[in-house]
Structure 1
Amino acid sequence: MNSSVLAQKTCILATMIITIPMILFGWMNANNSRDRIIAEKEQMLLRIAASLELRFPDSYEGILKHSPQSANEQEKLLLLHKRLQPIIDEVAQRYPEYGMGYGMSTQRIAYYPYRQELFNRPISQWVLNAYDKQEFLLQRRAMSPTWGQPTMSLIYPLCFNGKMIGHIWVNAKLGDINQAIYFAWAQNLVILIITWLGLIFLLQKAFNSIGQELKAFSASIEEKTDNFEQLTTLPELQPLRAAVIGLREGLEQEKDAVQNALLAVHQTLDRITDFFFALDREFRFIYINSKMAEMYRSVVVGQRIWDALPASRGFAAQFEQALAEQISVCYTAFSPTILKWLEISIYPSPHGLTVYMKDIHDQRLAQNQIKEQARLIDLVQDPIMMWDMEGTVIFWNGGAEKSYGWSKAEALGQNILDLIQTQFPQSLDKHMQELLEHGYWEGELVDSCKDGRRVVVKSHWTINKDVSGKVAAVFAINRDITEKRKIEEELARFDSLHTLGEMAAGIGHEVRNPLTTVRGYLQVFSYKGKFREYQEQFHTMIEELDRANSIITEFLSLAKNKSLDMECCNLNDIIRPLFPLLQADGFRLGHDVQLELTDIPNSCFDQKEIRQLILNLVRNGFEAMTSAGQVTIRTYAEPGAIVLVIRDTGTGIPAEMLDKLGTPFLTTKESGTGLGLPVCYRVAERHAAQIAIDTSAQGTTFYVKFNHSK
């Protein structure tokens, strides 16, 4: 910056620094003058009021005591006016620029300047405030009828024997007060301006001298002359001159060092195997490294990038954004010149752009291959998952989404054990130890789905290692075998039923015949008189034989080769005749039975076996309810099926018993045979029906679904 310009700017700044305080001082002085004049006027109003108070007789009553008894109010006012007006005129001669007068309540008695038409005119209502407060009032903008213009008015109370009997008013025209204020302001302003001009003159003279010396000092520095010794006005600049000389020498050395460093940078950039170049603000090449020059032979320093590399026009927006907003921009693009994928990073500076292009062709091909593999894995129907060693899910394919219910967005980042709540055949620590020792693990697990279902999966686990050989993740492929396991369990149950049925068919008749003979003899003996004392024992033995016969009957119901007597009928017609019997059984045990039968189509049933199935399921419901409960028998139709529903309000079936239901001799009752449900499953099998169970602490529901086609 030119030294004279610096001096001028400094002078202007100093002028402002002086002017602002002087303006503030003038403003404060003006306010003080105004307040002083107003205070003087207020003092004068009080002095005049005090003078009028001293001249006032004792009271209005004292003046009127010599008036006739018959005088009316108007005559009394005239008498008071005649007595007090001379006092007002006397004081007004001394203070003709002030208005004054005596008053009583809102009535004028005597006043100056005197105007006849105002004599009977009431005084302003604000005067009455003095009577309420019993003290003087001062109003600075009261309208005076006597002067006919705004005034500063004082209301001064007149008291006699401690009581206010009237008032004195004194006022001064605001115009006179403002004139005095303006005159005082003018005087202060003239003094302030003269003082300000004197200070500015001295300041200008001082800065002109400083400017001349700074100009000469700047010239000596620009001309690189070190013999500038005359600094009379500013001797403090001598150390600065010495420092400037030292800095100039240092800059010369730094310049050489920077040039050497720049040369080293260029040599380094020429050795790197990636592409590097620099552009000015017009997008012209100002530097290209050797790799760039080798692969892009059309690029020349001084040429615009759009002309040298036409394909770059498609990315002009990125270059212009980086330069305009001074932000780094990074993108990937395919170079048609060298037929490679490049990662292009643009770095801005006030003077242009530096661009670094990295060859990522092989990396891009590998990423595409990985993406294609991931896409193919995503198409696999089996769940495929991967999680790191902390258990955080890092891969979740489409098969996992369909099987477990969680979307990829929901699963990624979650803990795998918290998500699917896997049940392991052994402890998790042993499981992981085996996986890390062998590198893989295979077995069956039980997982949870989003909707709460539990599924059995055949799981294959392997470990993934990073480049350093450290275990980084676990890769798992699961196959849902829940239905397979259910089918296997169903087949096993059917096999046991078939085996039991074959046994029953083989031995049922052989056992039943001897039991019938024994029962007959026991009945005969029970009727003989000599065995009368053993009647209770005979009765017990006959009951036990009947119970054994019942078990044999249920055994025979399991026979595989038992013939069916199928008839076309309505399931509701089978249930209704049974209802009274079931009600009686329920009433005897303290339970209730309800029917909810809907219109259903006819189908083919073995009525005897269906009755046995219903009896077994309803009686199981009775036995499952410890207190008064209810068993509901319901039927309804759905597409392709007729459904029989038997629901109780018992305590539910224990979870550990659910998978074993239908197994012969499996019972939780002290006197149970464990053959009731196997018979039901056997009847359902012979009718090509399926049995489903829904159980909870509020009760159990059996669904028997009979296939039906129109």
Structure 2
Amino acid sequence: MLSYFYDHNLFLRTCEKSPIGIALLSINGSILKINPSLCKMLGYTESELIHLGISSATHPQDLETDLTLWHQLIRGEVDGYQIEKRYYHKSGSIKWGLLNVTAERNLQGISGNDVCIAQIVDITEQKKKEEEFKKIEELHNLIAEHSQDAIIRLTPDAMVTYVSPAIRNQIGYEPDELIGRYVYDFWHPEDLKCAWLSQDNTDPSDSRIFVNRLRHKNGHYIWHEAHSKKIRNAAGEIQHVISMGRDITERIQSEELIRRSEKLSLVGELAAGIAHEIRNPLTSLRGFMQLYMKEDIDGTKKLRNDVMLSEIDRINEIVSELLVLAKPSNEGSELRDLVQLLNHVTRLFEGQANLYNVQIMTEFDANLPLIQCQSSINQVFINVLKNAIESMPKGGDLIIQAKKLNDNLYIRIKDAGNGIPQEEMDKIGNPFFTTKETGTGLGLMVSMRIIQNHKGTMRIESEVGKGTTVEVILPIVK
């Protein structure tokens, strides 16, 4: 059968010149002919390889698979096979080869002198690169899986193709729930004008830093900061976009608290000057007004006089609130029972609550510690409860909760009132801003200043039609 190939000089010359390794094998596996490329790949001469045999040069872990496929070929069950396998170089190093084996059947069928042609492509360098890439990929996966920042891969049109597990802690979704979704589906509607990958956006830059709001699985929004970069191919086309982002909600809230604190300080300085200038003539006005009322013996001007005196008292009340904003109270602090304090304030509003058909319910943890505070803390809860009851003209449940968490006491007052529109939430606490027809807008600002003086914080959450929750956090002094 071999003579059949020797008669075909063109075939032999092709084998000799081929850049890939070629071996002619008999059906018993012995080597009949080997070309120079295979000899060069394995480091042996042709005679050495013929004497050694291909099996001896094969890595032991790949030998069984190769022999199984070889026997299937010899039995005529397959016409050929292809596998990646390892060979031993003469120096002892390992070479990877892509082996492709086919059978040349004679006219007598598979029981005759068939010859098998083995072609072996050296893929050692390719395997090394694959291994290096695998190590890099494992490192990237390790970083992605354990990074506190969420790593997201997007298509050029903003569809999510990969997201790291950190997203779970940020917006509550499992990574698999986001694959195939468009990232802008989770953006706050007001932030979509900054959508970098939208068709309407003409920004040509390849990298951007975004600060926007993302919708949590529970429905609320978090503040998110992300550094995004477009990845392009050699032709300059965008292949995908990589984004690394983190939850900055606490940072935004802290910055807002600082702004409010600075605003309170500025208003306080202004209020101090105004209040003192107003209070002196106001005292004189009230005194003369009381004398004028005594002169009205027949009482014909009583209604007008009462209105004027009431308005003077209202001005005096506003001046008093301005003075609270001006500087912290000099009143000494003492240990107080928070539950007793809240119960006292609740009893003050029982009449007004009944008038509005509001049911006040308390949920206090047992054995709450005493807190170091001034009596002015009462004013905070009076202001908040008064606002809560007045926000429920149709009645409803007003829930007051108190609990200890770590080194703080958390007091939550939740009403079922009309709620505050989101566009007005940023104005809450500003001087003279109020949602009530008769309010001054100073009550909440004064409350915030009192809580600030106690080194605490006040947070407000509201939704139109569902109500408002005010949370006061006070530190426990050990």
TM-score category of the 2 structures, normalised to the smaller one: 0.7 to 0.9
Q: Which amino acid aligns with 2:34?
A: I
Inter-CA distance 579–274: structure 2 relative to 1 (3 Å threshold): same
Other structure's SS at 1:674 match: coil
Other structure's SS at 1:680 match: helix
Superposed counterparts of 1:157-172, under 5 Å: none
Inter-CA distance 442–561: structure 2 relative to 1 (3 Å threshold): same
Q: How far apart in 1 are the matches of 2:198 and 2:178?
A: 26
Answering whether residue 241 of structure 2 is matched by residue 477 of structure 1, we say no
Answering whether residue 414 of structure 2 is matched by residue 647 of structure 1, we say yes
Q: Which amino acid aligns with 2:41?
A: M
- Kept in 1, the 8 Å contact 2:38–2:120? The answer is no
Answering whether residue 66 of structure 2 is matched by residue 315 of structure 1, we say no
Cα shift readout 1:102-130 (whole Å, capped 9, x = no counterpart): xxxxxxxxxxxxxxxxxxxxxxxxxxxxx
- Kept in 2, the 8 Å contact 1:591–1:628? The answer is yes
Q: How far apart in 2 are the matches of 1:272 and 1:415?
A: 51
Deviation at 1:271, TM superposition (A): 3.9
1:306 to 55, 65, 74: 55
Structure 2 partner of 1:342: 96
- Kept in 1, the 8 Å contact 2:222–2:249? The answer is yes
Deviation at 1:665, TM superposition (A): 2.2
Answering whether residue 34 of structure 2 is matched by residue 285 of structure 1, we say no
- Kept in 1, the 8 Å contact 2:41–2:89? The answer is no
Inter-CA distance 416–356: structure 2 relative to 1 (3 Å threshold): farther
1:356 to 120, 123, 136: 120
1:517 to 269, 284, 289: 284
Structure 2 partner of 1:374: 140
Structure 1: unaligned runs, 5 residues or longer? 1-255
C-alpha RMSD of matched pairs (Å)? 3.5
Structure 1 partner of 2:376: 609
Q: How far apart in 1 are the matches of 2:137 and 2:52?
A: 40
- Kept in 1, the 8 Å contact 2:265–2:326? The answer is yes
Structure 2 partner of 1:331: 84
Q: How far apart in 2 are the matches of 1:376 and 1:622?
A: 53
Deviation at 1:701, TM superposition (A): 2.5
Deviation at 1:507, TM superposition (A): 2.5
Q: Which amino acid aligns with 2:263?
A: S
Other structure's SS at 2:276 match: helix
Inter-CA distance 348–572: structure 2 relative to 1 (3 Å threshold): same
- Kept in 2, the 8 Å contact 1:383–1:397? The answer is yes
Deviation at 1:493, TM superposition (A): 0.6
TM-score, with structure 1 as normaliser: 0.56
Q: How far apart in 1 are the matches of 2:262 and 2:151?
A: 36
Q: How far apart in 1 are the matches of 2:427 and 2:20?
A: 71
Deviation at 1:467, TM superposition (A): 3.2
Inter-CA distance 507–605: structure 2 relative to 1 (3 Å threshold): farther
Inter-CA distance 368–340: structure 2 relative to 1 (3 Å threshold): farther
Q: How far apart in 1 are the matches of 2:188 and 2:34?
A: 59
Deviation at 1:319, TM superposition (A): 0.8
Structure ranking higher on relative contact order (CA contacts 8 Å, 6+ apart) = 2
- Kept in 2, the 8 Å contact 1:651–1:699? The answer is yes
Structure 2: unaligned runs, 5 residues or longer? 104-109
Other structure's SS at 1:357 match: strand
Q: How far apart in 2 are the matches of 1:277 and 1:419?
A: 61
Inter-CA distance 578–394: structure 2 relative to 1 (3 Å threshold): closer
Other structure's SS at 1:533 match: coil
Inter-CA distance 526–267: structure 2 relative to 1 (3 Å threshold): farther
Q: How far apart in 2 are the matches of 1:519 and 1:568?
A: 38
Q: How far apart in 2 are the matches of 1:432 and 1:330?
A: 50
TM-score, with structure 2 as normaliser: 0.81
Structure 2 partner of 1:550: 317
Other structure's SS at 1:608 match: coil
Cα shift readout 1:83-142 (whole Å, capped 9, x = no counterpart): xxxxxxxxxxxxxxxxxxxxxxxxxxxxxxxxxxxxxxxxxxxxxxxxxxxxxxxxxxxx
Identity of aligned residues (%): 23
Superposed counterparts of 1:647-686, under 5 Å: 647-686=414-453
- Kept in 1, the 8 Å contact 2:31–2:50? The answer is yes
Higher deviation after alignment, 496-505 or 526-535: 526-535
- Kept in 2, the 8 Å contact 1:442–1:460? The answer is yes
Q: How far apart in 1 are the matches of 2:118 and 2:282?
A: 107
- Kept in 1, the 8 Å contact 2:22–2:117? The answer is no
Higher deviation after alignment, 320-329 or 516-525: 320-329
Inter-CA distance 384–575: structure 2 relative to 1 (3 Å threshold): closer
Superposed counterparts of 1:89-488, under 5 Å: 263-296=9-42, 297-298=44-45, 300-301=49-50, 304-307=53-56, 309=57, 311-323=58-70, 324=72, 326=78, 328-331=81-84, 333=86, 337=90, 339=93, 342-347=96-101, 349=103, 352=116, 354-361=118-125, 363-364=129-130, 367-368=133-134, 370-371=136-137, 374-375=140-141, 377-378=143-144, 380-397=147-164, 399-400=166-167, 403-406=170-173, 409-418=176-185, 423-426=191-194, 428=196, 433-435=201-203, 437-450=204-217, 452=219, 454-488=221-255
Answering whether residue 259 of structure 2 is matched by residue 492 of structure 1, we say yes
Inter-CA distance 432–263: structure 2 relative to 1 (3 Å threshold): farther
Q: 1 or 2, which has the higher helix percentage?
A: 1
Q: How far apart in 2 are the matches of 1:700 and 1:485?
A: 21
Q: Which amino acid aligns with 1:318?
A: T
Aligned pair count reads: 451
Cα shift readout 1:33-66 (whole Å, capped 9, x = no counterpart): xxxxxxxxxxxxxxxxxxxxxxxxxxxxxxxxxx
- Kept in 2, the 8 Å contact 1:377–1:397? The answer is no
Inter-CA distance 315–691: structure 2 relative to 1 (3 Å threshold): same
- Kept in 2, the 8 Å contact 1:340–1:361? The answer is no
